[in-house]
Amino acid sequence: MKLKINLDECVGCGNCTSVCPFDLVEIVKGKVKINEEGCNFCGACVESCGYYAITIEADEPVAEADESYCGVWVFAEQRRGTLKNVAYELLSRGRELADTLETELGAVCLGHNVQDAESLIAYGADKVYLADSPDLADNQEDYLTHKLVDLIREYKPEVVIAGATALGRAFFPRVAAILNTGLTADCTGLDIDTEKRLLLQTRPTFGGNIMATIICPANRPQMATVRPRVFKKNAPDDKRQGQIIKVDFKKEGIAPKTKLLDFIDDVTETVKLEDADIIISGGRGLGKPENFKLLAELAEAMGAALGSSRAAVDEGWIPYSHQVGQTGKTVCPKLYIACGISGAIQHLAGMQTSDIIVAINDDPNAPIFEVATYGIVGDLFQVVPMLIKKLKG
Amino acid sequence: MNIVVCLKQVPGTTEVKIDPQTNTLIRQGIENIINPFDTYAIEEGVRLKEKDGGKVTVITMGPSQAEAALRESISLGIDEAILLCDNAFRGADTWATAFTLSCAVKKLQQYDLIICGRQTIDGDTGQVGPELAEMLDIPFIAYVGQIEEIKDGYLRVRRMVEEGHEILETTLPAVITVAKEINVPRLPSLRGIMKSKSAKIDTWGIRELGVEESMVGLPGSSTQVIKIFFPQRVHQAEMLEGNPEKQVDTLIDRLKSAGLC
């Protein structure tokens, strides 16, 4: 790739200088100058220029994709025999992608005694590739990696997506590395370029400040992970017809490189954050750890789960498992009440798709109000006790 | 023990705001920093060396100014630093980045533990660690919050998953990515700063690594960014007015009509 600048067209307006994610563009003596070292040809400057002064030229024609790959696959993650919600969310979106591509939707489920594998069909799968073995009970990542690689090589799907869970983010990149194909992490949007049959993978980057759309033009399959709760789960259709294909799993030939010795449950959570309909969340504005008790009281009154911003976790007021945001959990409850949370972009990235957001903060300029449905500017130590009293009353 | 830490120099963009007039990033005064998640990897490497002896080498791939990040890591206790810098590396996606790093690690020959941060704050993918492990064909464990035991080719760690913590064991060499729970990174020492100024930093390009240009950088990348845009927030909150009691009454009204209380 080459950056080409047509200095005759450049008027030195400077539109392009601020859009570069790497700060490589400047105006020198009234003309654009780009420091190519560090440039990854993202095209932001090209798009920002109203005078067509900057262009990116491809070196050579891109290789053609192997057309024998077809079908959309979802990795249906399970834990201890129970399918995760993210599997259904991905199937719901996967169904639409498969319909657009006029192809089949497959679900791959690797586990032991997985209950309700038929539900994957009800949520849109045409075929469920199900491997059942005691060796798959613990989600051993080396087994999952190699089994999924084998299945992809055998059935050749053109698109494979998985949840960006702790498991998905750890083993999916290994699958992509073995298959020598592209993988896009943490997508928030998946669409199809119907003309080229390409998966358009849109994801936040720079902490949610910028959105990037990414393609994998030549290598197959096209792979992406998607955060839980990004796509909505459709209503299941129990009458849908599909096929469950039992596939073998043999651990022989796969050397497990890591071994799970123990699992320690985080006992502080009474309602699981990811599954909660209502979340009461607290931030630095609480002032001290004891004040989380006030939020816990509100949570109890509303049957809600307790969340927090990173600031409160960093202060040691509440365990990490409650953290909502970029490096915590992504949630999408029906109601999210943010108390004393200013709303750093990293926090917003984890909760802004909630149905209703209530923000309680004493700073009217706090960014949390930009995503809120209802805003209360006031002292949370007055508002929250009042709310508890009226709800109980 | 020979420890390798992979780091990335990133713009300190989390502080960046969007100019509402032009819908562009306000970039003034943004400096490049060591990716914050990688500072935990540096600290853990240095701590292991201080406890059990050995050497910690840091590798980064980036433009020439990434040398500053390497010098900073030396001030924090890193022994040796290697800069992977070549025009051919430009435009690499995670696969091509992991491949380039894997070539550098192989060239080092001696490595027991490779530590990476859990993700970068600019790309946010967290993919380079696991891809690197696979290319080296060695074990991988993500999100390590504590190293419980490491000796004689054996590693036992505690790692975080959604539901709690897992204790895992594996053999060395291995790749781990670390979470911020693992330690509290130190500040540079005066001696470290002095050392970092005079330290020799090796620069390796495609010739030193013995790799084809087609395998690295943009040509080696399967993925391609085709569009960059700014998220739209066209949103207006309903601000609830009045004294706290009035505000709470209105809120309960709204929540009741939504069937939420």
Domains in chain B with CATH codes: 2-215 (3.40.50.620)
Which residue among A209, A212, A219 places its CB closest to the CB of B16? A209
Closest alpha carbon within chain A to B64: A37
Q: Does the distance separating the beta carbons of A259 and B248 come in below 8 Å?
A: no
Determine which of B60, B156, B228, B234 to mutate to test the interface with A (most A C-beta atoms within 10 Å): B228
Give chain A's domains with CATH numbers.
2-57 (3.30.70.20), 72-247 (3.40.50.620), 273-392 (3.40.50.1220)
pLDDT-derived band of residue B29, with 50, 70 and 90 as boundaries?
low
> Under 8 Å CB-to-CB from B48, ≥6 apart: which residues?
B1, B3, B54, B56, B113, B147, B150
**pLDDT for the residue numbered B78:** 97
pLDDT > 60? residue B17: no
- Give yes or no for residue B26 having a pLDDT over 60: no
> Would you say the ipTM is above 0.90?
no
pLDDT at A346: 85
Which residues touch A80 (CB under 8 Å, ≥6 apart)? A137
Q: Do B14 and A390 touch (CB under 8 A)?
A: no
Q: Quickly state the pLDDT bin for B14 (edges 50, 70, 90).
A: low
One digit per residue, the tens of pLDDT, for chain A of length 393 reads 778 888 888 999 988 888 887 778 899 999 999 988 777 777 788 878 888 888 887 665 567 788 899 999 999 999 989 999 999 999 999 999 999 999 999 999 999 999 999 999 999 999 999 999 999 999 999 999 999 999 999 999 999 999 999 899 999 999 999 999 999 999 989 999 999 999 999 998 877 777 889 999 999 999 999 988 889 889 999 999 999 999 999 998 888 899 999 988 765 555 578 878 899 999 999 999 999 999 999 999 999 999 999 999 989 899 888 999 888 888 888 899 999 999 998 899 889 888 899 999 999 999 999 899 999 999 999 999 999 999 988
For residue B45, the distance in angstroms to the closest alpha carbon of chain A comes to 21
Nearest CB partner across the interface for B130, out of A1, A174, A257: A174
Cβ of B91 within 8 Å of Cβ of A213? The answer is no
pLDDT at B203 over 90: yes
Q: How many CB pairs under 8 A join A and B?
A: 284
Q: What is the Cα–Cα distance from B127 to B225, expressed in whole angstroms?
A: 16
**β strands within chain B, DSSP E:** 2-7, 9-11, 17-19, 24-26, 32-34, 55-61, 80-84, 113-117, 140-151, 154-161, 164-171, 174-178, 202-204, 224-229, 238-239
Q: What is the pLDDT of residue A270?
A: 55
Which residue has better confidence, B23 or A199?
A: A199
Q: Do A222 and A175 form a contact (C-beta atoms < 8 A)? A: no
Q: What is the pLDDT of residue B233?
A: 61
Q: A358 and B223: CB-CB below 8 Å?
A: no
The C-alpha of B37 sits at a distance from chain A's nearest C-alpha, in angstroms, of: 10
Contact at 8 Å (CB) between B155 and B147?
Answer: yes
pLDDT of residue A276: 87
CA distance A242 to chain B (A): 31
